[in-house]
Structure 1
Amino acid sequence: MPCQRLPRALPALGGILILTLLSGGSAYADAKPWRLHEALSAPAWLDVGGTYRARFEHLDGDFRAGSSGSTQILVGRLLFGVQANFDPFYIGAELEDSRSQLDDSDTPLGTDDVDAIALLRAYIGAKGLNMFAAGDQLDVTAGRLTIDLGSRRLVARNRFRNTINGFTGVNALWQGPAGTQLQTFYTLPVHRRPTDRDRLDDNDIVTDTESFKVRFWAVDLRQENLFGGATGEAYVFGLHEDDGSDVPTANRRLLTPGVRLFSAPAKGAWDFEVEAAGQVGKSRSTTSSADTTDLDHRAGFVHAHLAHTFDAPWSPRLVLQYDFASGDGDPNDGENNRFDTLFGARRWEFGPTGIYGALARSNINSPGTRIEIKPSPNLNGFVGYRAVWLASDRDALTTAEVRDPGGASGSFVGHQIEARVRADVLPGNLGMEFGGAYLFDGEFLKKAPNAAGNGDTAYFYTQSTLTF
């Protein structure tokens, strides 16, 4: 680590040190959480608060093409929001300040790590009761937004990642009296800036933008209490892109319809989830302005899991899971068969992201299992395992840009083991988390023509989150 980076890292290092020292306050576990809103004696109609999170990550044996081996990063994320409530109207804003330190030339640094002093949300909305039926509720919000929808596999407000997806537009949620829910939005995705490596490394402050050249919309219908108490969901997402002078795109014009059926975990009971989506339209192989070839896009994904929560101390839950997302079967057939996860999240399903992020919902064929435990209300953890193949051995491991167009390197990526422990040290104020993953490289990562050749990959992280 270059010594000149140390002065820049000291504030974030100090944040981690202070939060870690506070962990000795577990005797206050039953105390009421401290809140900035109360400390300021803010009026009841005004909400004020936020979070600060610091996380150190270390990676050995980087699996990415062209990488040289080991790297690390220290990331910090401050979120600060205010909302004024004047029933039935509300107005609010949220700032995000996401920065990195301690990274070096081998660190895979991008806009998923850095977005310094950004306007994450700025919105106005209204809620109404009994709009279309007795007991229903309609909530409409307009402005710059963050969005969680359904399983969060196709659009999400990111949690583990150091930056958060933003959208400018309108979001409407209608909740009926019989467990029916309809959500729809029409937005322009926010383009995080800067994008060049040097400016990201310096945590430069550049205003994020949106453009009518990229439009993203969805309609999602959910119904609770179907057979056996399960919840059903049907949706369609639309994404339409055109190249812009400052926002290169793959000119995706995609429709993604899907269905989902799931039940909630309960002690002493089985739960399950099945989700499947198709994807049709047009796309291009790259975001280069020189790439003008439109490909027919035909892709899909499937997720399924079956789990049981035991009625026993620590509430152990055993999960059997399977994920498939299509890859491009033939690079020369005029089609793109690689599934695009749009603006979805993946940490809870495929392992830590950050500077790791080995697995994604694209060109993957992966069964796995996980055991979760909860020793107390303020402590939980899990250990998980996955065997990973490419859905198409002629397409890339998308997170690594490793590819064998001839398919001679096989499709087996490797075995991934991961673990995580999370503790609410001062419930409502201070949380700490420790985790990691180990990827045993398989035939594909050893033999592909542009494989890094760094051997197995080991990753760990530790983070503290302060809520105020």
Structure 2
Amino acid sequence: MKFLKVILDKLIVLVGKASLILSTTKQLLARRNSLTFFFSMLFFIVLTQKIAEAQSVTESHVITLPDSMLQVTQLKEGDSYKWSVKPKDQSSSPLAAKSKESKQPTSYFRRSDSYATNPESDPPRYVRRLSDIGIEAFKDITWLEVGLEHRTRYEFRNNDIRRTEGGDDNPFFLRNRAWIGIKEILDPFRFAVEFQDSRVYNNKHARTDQERNEYDLINAYGELYFKNALGVDDRNQNRPIRFRVGRMAYEVTDRRFIARNEWRNTTNTFEGFRLNLGRDANDWELDLFGMQPVRRLQTKFDEANDNLWFFGAIGHWRKWSDIITIQPYYMGQKQEGDPQGFTATNRLDREIHMPGFRAYGRLGTPSKPYLMDFDGSFNYQLGYSGPLRQDAHGYTIELGRTFDYPWKPRLSAFYGYATGDRDPNDGEDNRFDRFFGFARPWSADHYFIFENVKTPKVRFDLQPHPMLGFELGYSWFWLASSKDRMFDFLDGNISNTVKDPGFNRDRTGQSGDYAGSAFEGRIRFQPTPRISTILGYTHFFAGEFVQNRIAASPSCTEGHHPCVDHRSGDTNFLYFEVLISLL
């Protein structure tokens, strides 16, 4: 009974400190200044030292407990970190020596070689254990995770066809993030909070929730984590059960349907639950979820969309991951129409079900340079969208080869297809719905997404140094249906700020289906593990659809409103980005 009382006392102290952190978080939400944001998070780090002191008070009592209880607070098995900075060597400890004697587990997880399809880690890459940040006082605090990140991006856009107004735009985007999470020490209970402050300056257009979302939470969840609930796999890796509830921003599969949207200045997030059986290191895993997307309110605290539920089940089979990883899944969404909805889609009752399948891997002998890598998916959507029957599908395929040379040259070819509405009067909606997936890899300038599109692409990547990389690509774009819309064209987006004037669709199909082509180039330079920079450029060559829709829309010189500045449709997009992890 004595050791139970010690444990209870310890939990009371730690939960009290955790409550203090959460209450401080709520107070921070009332502040709107980014500088205050960072000073406040530095206060969090000082606060964690107090938590460590509370732990040390009871540590002498815990020494009498069984070794299994000691390991809860001292060991961290199976967690993967993408940081280049390695934690300090702890090989002198008895536990580290014991772990060296045993065979290290081997993960089944293999990343895809296809372009931009690997999900962000959980927690994100900028997050670190407090023991790894290099401060001596925190070297034993392995159960607390912290992170601070800042990103600045400058963009130059010339005659951006996403806008009805031509000319030049020179916006600056600022995004600040902070993370604090506790795991293992209170197992099975864990929690994490992630703050984000997104702002845009020098933008001549109306600010939307794509660019601005001041001082909000994108993660705020609690979870129950049972490390060995399902035993171990045949490589002796624990297979856990994890049940997470709250607000969550994360990515799965190839990011085409659930994504944080890392390029965009604001982030997709959801409120609901997520149940995982197994983890990415295991030979199989099942991910179940039911969530409501969060409305980004720009200057107010974000709220869940009570009219829409997003749900699904995602399987991962990695038994043969050296050759192929298989991901069968089902996703769906059910929406009750909101009479006050901003867009026509918001005002519809909708129910969409999507079974899908993805497979990726490498062809060839594992002991030799592989012949080719591949990544393919197919998805079918059925249900209803208002009075229309939903009948749509989409698929992707990428083949590539990284050649066995020091500079790691890679050549790849991609083809993506998603149906558009074939006929606005046939009682069917054939427009493929990308749900909450990413947009940018379809087109770097954000003109196209995974709907009503046919696009072949070729890419060439080169990495002459671990800190330096070059990317070149060329893409062609057709509309799958000439009678449906080109998504982000002439203010025809799904923003909750800018009204859609309807210039991005020709219901007659007479404007044609060839939208254009684009050259893309990027230079990536990472001078330190905590600082990365990107310089990018894209030139879009307008096709017949873009040119004809600009010509057919009312000209601003004629005094109409809304109207379009008539121009060629060709655009230039130049950007420079700096990403800094501060811990």
Identify the TM-score tier after normalising by the shorter chain.
0.7 to 0.9
Mapping 1:7-156, distance limit 5 Å = 37=130, 38=133, 39=135, 41-42=137-138, 43-64=141-162, 66-85=164-183, 86-105=186-205, 109-134=207-232, 135-156=238-259
TM-superposed deviation, 1:44: 3.0
Mapping 1:34-433, distance limit 5 Å = 37=130, 38=133, 39=135, 41-42=137-138, 43-64=141-162, 66-85=164-183, 86-105=186-205, 109-134=207-232, 135-175=238-278, 179-194=283-298, 205-226=299-320, 229-244=323-338, 248=342, 249=346, 250-263=348-361, 268-284=370-386, 294-347=387-440, 349-352=441-444, 356-400=445-489, 401=492, 402-427=504-529, 429-433=530-534
- With over 3 angstroms needed to count, the CA separation of the structure-2 counterparts of 1:56 and 1:257, relative to structure 1, is same
Bigger RCO of structures 1 and 2 (CA < 8 A, at least 6 apart): 1
Counterpart code for 2:171? I
Counterpart code for 1:148? E
Aligned length: 418
RMSD of equivalent CA atoms: 2.7
Residue 366 of structure 1 aligns to a residue whose secondary structure is strand
Q: How high is the sequence identity, in percent, across the aligned residues?
A: 27
1:307-332 CA-to-partner distances (Å, cap 9, x unmatched) read 01100121011111101011111111
Larger Rg: 2
TM-superposed deviation, 1:188: 1.2
Give the Cα–Cα distance (whole angstroms) in 1 for the partners of residues 137 and 296 of structure 2.
35
Q: Which moved more, 1:50-59 or 1:167-176?
A: 167-176
- With over 3 angstroms needed to count, the CA separation of the structure-2 counterparts of 1:31 and 1:44, relative to structure 1, is closer
- With over 3 angstroms needed to count, the CA separation of the structure-2 counterparts of 1:104 and 1:304, relative to structure 1, is same
Structure 2: give runs of 5+ residues left out of the alignment: 1-33, 39-83, 88-125, 233-237, 493-503, 554-563
Give the Cα–Cα distance (whole angstroms) in 2 for the partners of residues 365 and 70 of structure 1.
29
1:419-462 CA-to-partner distances (Å, cap 9, x unmatched) read 111121111x1111111211100111111223764221110110
TM-superposed deviation, 1:71: 1.6
Counterpart code for 1:88? P
TM-superposed deviation, 1:283: 1.6
Q: Which residue of 1 aligns with 2:574?
A: 460
- Given that 1:63 and 1:452 are in contact with CA atoms closer than 8 Å, whether structure 2 keeps it comes out as no
Determine which structure has the larger helix proportion and give its number.
2
Structure 1: give runs of 5+ residues left out of the alignment: 1-10, 16-28, 195-204, 285-293
Residue 444 of structure 1 aligns to a residue whose secondary structure is helix
Q: Which moved more, 1:177-186 or 1:326-335?
A: 177-186
1:144-180 CA-to-partner distances (Å, cap 9, x unmatched) read 1112111110011221111111111111222278611
- Given that 2:397 and 2:415 are in contact with CA atoms closer than 8 Å, whether structure 1 keeps it comes out as yes
Residue 219 of structure 2 aligns to a residue whose secondary structure is strand
Give the Cα–Cα distance (whole angstroms) in 2 for the partners of residues 235 and 60 of structure 1.
41
- With over 3 angstroms needed to count, the CA separation of the structure-2 counterparts of 1:40 and 1:239, relative to structure 1, is farther
1:170-200 CA-to-partner distances (Å, cap 9, x unmatched) read 1122227861111111111111104xxxxxx
- With over 3 angstroms needed to count, the CA separation of the structure-2 counterparts of 1:264 and 1:174, relative to structure 1, is farther
Give the Cα–Cα distance (whole angstroms) in 1 for the partners of residues 316 and 300 of structure 2.
39
Counterpart code for 2:382? V
1:12-71 CA-to-partner distances (Å, cap 9, x unmatched) read 9xx9xxxxxxxxxxxxx9898997944594433222212110101111122236222322
Counterpart code for 2:285? Q
Residue 392 of structure 1 aligns to a residue whose secondary structure is coil
TM-superposed deviation, 1:87: 2.8
TM-superposed deviation, 1:463: 0.7
- Given that 2:127 and 2:179 are in contact with CA atoms closer than 8 Å, whether structure 1 keeps it comes out as no
Q: Which residue of 1 aligns with 2:80?
A: none
- With over 3 angstroms needed to count, the CA separation of the structure-2 counterparts of 1:308 and 1:212, relative to structure 1, is same
- Given that 2:337 and 2:350 are in contact with CA atoms closer than 8 Å, whether structure 1 keeps it comes out as no
- Given that 1:351 and 1:437 are in contact with CA atoms closer than 8 Å, whether structure 2 keeps it comes out as no
Give the Cα–Cα distance (whole angstroms) in 1 for the partners of residues 127 and 146 of structure 2.
12
- Given that 1:259 and 1:276 are in contact with CA atoms closer than 8 Å, whether structure 2 keeps it comes out as yes
- Given that 1:65 and 1:452 are in contact with CA atoms closer than 8 Å, whether structure 2 keeps it comes out as no
Determine which structure has the larger strand proportion and give its number.
1
- With over 3 angstroms needed to count, the CA separation of the structure-2 counterparts of 1:235 and 1:171, relative to structure 1, is same
Residue 304 of structure 2 aligns to a residue whose secondary structure is coil
